[in-house]
Structure 1
């Protein structure tokens, strides 16, 4: 699936993390015409910063 970095199953729903939500959404709708209740959200700058720093801290801990 274009742009998808991860997929998580949560309470009967799928949560996809994508680098290109437009491409991901187009591919999903083209492949599955029965998909419904789609929600697209963007992360805040704070969330992006935390994700980057957590990844950096994890890498530093394994070195």
Structure 2
């Protein structure tokens, strides 16, 4: 993937992507979303995405991590 694929567009154009660890994502970022009553949008392709509850996403990630 090239950098262009990660650039924010339209109303999000002033935001910049930032790399975080999976641990930071699960322990710091996702709990904040729960508090704000939001749901993450994943697999966004500029047209569509999957919206999932935070607890479902955390459960799926934890199950996947157990495999390694």
TM-score interval, smaller chain: 0.3 to 0.5
Please tell me whether Structure 1 or Structure 2 has the larger radius of gyration of its CA atoms.
1
If asked which structure has higher relative contact order (CA below 8 Å, sep 6+), I would say 1
TM-score by length of structure 1 reads 0.33
